[in-house]
Structure 1
């Protein structure tokens, strides 16, 4: 009985490995010599018009609508905070970072930006002027004509 179970488990593992190996695309470089160095494609131009973009899906972090080239973002300095910290938004005209950036994981408010929210580019990225890699059919609720609660 024990031998039958081991054989069934072994067969299931082999089948899963075979199916997985079949679905993974082969990684190859340029033909005919995949080891030959190839020049990199040029980087896309970033959108720098300072126009806020609609989000592509709910809860998406806002994108950065300006260039951040040369911005220092380290443990000791964060150039983003010179405009987006709540104390500086009135003078800079930049949108204030969300109040969630001043909270701990437990929801306790802090006097300064939470260390886990300090490195802005872990969530926020500049927008490049490129074609979408995949299609997106997201439609905002306001575009669907949804009425507010208690509207009847």
Structure 2
């Protein structure tokens, strides 16, 4: 008889449980504010628009007429502060950068205004201190900087400047 009582209890519990699930009470309605599609990205236009971004403007300063740009961190490669339109493409056989910057005798010296920053010692090899041409593509690391508005504000401050 105790077995029958156990089955009866299980059956009663199942019936009560299922009857509780069958009630037709509605869940509370939550109002969700619509999100304007123009506020979804950095561009602040509709996601359906095809915006025309502004043309990127690089420095038009001649070499030797601009100041060196600071670096963001200790090992960052220096940025190019002058126009390089006439110098690219940089190839192994045509590298106009070295015409001004291949001055190992000026490494560590105080430079006069307009004097090119010398190529660093890390770019020279061998007993004769020759420029290592495995790094002939200068613009792979050293890039001119565009005069562009920030898309996102930043509180980053360089740890060390030149």
Provide, for residues 63-120 of structure 1, a one-character-per-residue CA deviation record: whole Å limited to 9, x for no partner: 0111001214112110001100016969x721110010113xxxx5564221222110
Q: How does 1:104-143 map to 2 (within 5 A)?
A: 111-134=129-152, 135-140=154-159
- Whether the 8 Å contact between 2:83 and 2:144 is mirrored in structure 1 is yes
| 2:130 counterpart SS class | coil
CA distance in 1, matches of 2:143, 2:98: 15
- What residue in structure 1 maps to residue 122 of structure 2? 100
**Gaps in structure 2 of 5+ consecutive residues:** 1-46
CA distance in 1, matches of 2:158, 2:53: 35
Structure of larger gyration radius: 2
- Over 2 Å off, 4+ runs: 38-41, 45-49, 87-90, 108-112, 131-134, 138-142
| 1:77 counterpart SS class | coil
- Whether the 8 Å contact between 2:59 and 2:83 is mirrored in structure 1 is yes
CA distance in 2, matches of 1:132, 1:63: 18
Structure whose residues are more often helix by fraction: 1
State how many pairs are aligned.
106
- What residue in structure 2 maps to residue 81 of structure 1? 98
Distance verdict in 2 for CA 1:65–1:114, change over 3 Å: same
- Looking at both structures, which has the greater relative contact order when contacts are Cα pairs under 8 Å and sequence separation is at least 6? 2
**Gaps in structure 1 of 5+ consecutive residues:** 1-29, 143-152
TM-score relative to the length of structure 2:
0.52
TM-score relative to the length of structure 1:
0.54
- Whether the 8 Å contact between 2:104 and 2:119 is mirrored in structure 1 is no
- What residue in structure 2 maps to residue 8 of structure 1? none
